[in-house]
Amino acid sequence: MNDARRYQMALAALTLATLILFCLSLLVGPAGIGFIDSVSALFSERRDAIALIMQEIRLPRALLGLMVGATLGLSGAVLQGYLRNPLAEPALIGVSASASLGAVLAIYTWLSAVFPPALPLAALAASVVAVLIVQAMAGRRGSVLTLILAGVAVSSFAGAMTSLALNLSSNPFAALEIMFWMLGSLTDRSMTHVWLALPFMLAGWAALLTLGRALDALTLGGDTAASLGVDMRRVQFLAVFGTAASVGAATAVTGAIGFVGLVVPHLLRPLTGGQPSRLLPTSALGGASVVLAADILVRIVAPERDLKLGVLTAIVGAPFFLWLVWRERRKVA
DSSP 261-303: HHHHHHHHGGGGTT-HHHHHHHHHHHHHHHHHHHHHHHHHH-T
pLDDT of residue 42: 78
What residue type is assigned to position 300 of the chain? I
Give yes or no for residue 62 having a pLDDT over 90.
Answer: yes
Q: Are 80 and 272 in contact (CB under 8 A)?
A: no
Q: Where are the alpha helices (DSSP H) in 140-275?
A: 144-168, 172-182, 191-209, 212-218, 222-227, 232-254, 260-268
Q: What is the mean pLDDT of the chain?
A: 86
CATH number, domain at 53?
Answer: 1.10.3470.10
Residue 238's pLDDT band, with cuts at 50, 70 and 90, is very high
- Most confident of the following: 4-18, 109-123, 173-187: 4-18
State the Cα–Cα distance between residues 95 and 33, nearest whole angstrom: 38
pLDDT of residue 177: 77
The two most distant CA atoms of the chain are separated, in Å, by 65
Low-confidence winner among 203-207, 227-231, 301-305 (lowest mean pLDDT): 301-305
pLDDT of residue 285: 96
Q: How far apart, in Å, are the Cα atoms of 129 and each of 11, 36, 115, 332?
A: 35, 47, 21, 37
pLDDT of residue 233: 86
Note down the domain range covering 288.
3-332
pLDDT of residue 18: 97
Give yes or no for residue 36 having a pLDDT over 90.
Answer: no
Name the percent of the chain lying above pLDDT 90: 33
Give yes or no for residue 175 having a pLDDT over 80.
Answer: no
Comparing 144 with 206, which gets the higher pLDDT? 206
Handedness of CA 295, 56, 72, 166 (dihedral sign): negative
Note the pLDDT tens digit of each residue in 275-314: 899 999 999 999 999 999 999 999 888 777 778 899 999 8
Count the domains in the chain.
1
pLDDT of residue 296: 93
Residue 260's pLDDT band, with cuts at 50, 70 and 90, is very high
Residue 40's pLDDT band, with cuts at 50, 70 and 90, is confident
Residue 1's pLDDT band, with cuts at 50, 70 and 90, is low
Low-confidence winner among 57-71, 127-141, 269-283 (lowest mean pLDDT): 127-141
pLDDT of residue 13: 95
Residue 12's pLDDT band, with cuts at 50, 70 and 90, is very high
Note the pLDDT tens digit of each residue in 78-107: 999 998 887 788 888 888 889 889 888 888
Q: Are 258 and 321 in contact (CB under 8 A)?
A: no
Comparing 58 with 328, which gets the higher pLDDT? 58
